Amino acid sequence: MPGYPSHFLVRFTVKIQVGDPVQCWPWIGAISNSGKCRSQYGAFQEGGRGSRIWRAHRLSLLLATLPEDLRGDELLSWIYLADLAHADLEAAHQCDTPICCNPQHLEWEPHDLNVQFQWWRQRRIE
């Protein structure tokens, strides 16, 4: 679809309430349950019906390192390749706010370490 990648970014970024760099940037778009742990995360559907649904915080962390010169189909290809490169890692919230999309509050961690840190910070995990 022509113009899809730039439309993709616009649709995504308008659903983040960007504020001060040290504060949480809440996701104001759709929310989905994560499954077992009862946390609710931002959900962003890439395109039309049947397209990929991203966790907003994961996509935000991927886009934080997006090269500025990418355009068109290169942009989506880069996002998919970056996601594959981090396939074994989670975009972990250091702020314990599941709807936060501030890339400064997120970092790549293996699942086991993410769960340990959540437990250490007294988050409820089931």
What's the confidence (pLDDT) of residue 47? 79
Number of structural domains in the chain: 1
Domain of residue 48: give its range. 4-120
Is 32 among the domain residues? yes
Measured over the CA atoms of residue 107, residue 96, residue 37 and residue 122, the dihedral's sign is positive
Is 56 among the domain residues? yes
Is 26 among the domain residues? yes
- 10 Å CB burial of residue 65 (0-12, 13-18, 19+) is exposed
Is 110 among the domain residues? yes
The model's pTM is 0.83
pLDDT tens digits, 59-108: 999 999 888 887 777 888 899 999 999 999 999 999 988 899 999 999 99
Is 125 among the domain residues? no
- 10 Å CB burial of residue 57 (0-12, 13-18, 19+) is buried
Is 126 among the domain residues? no
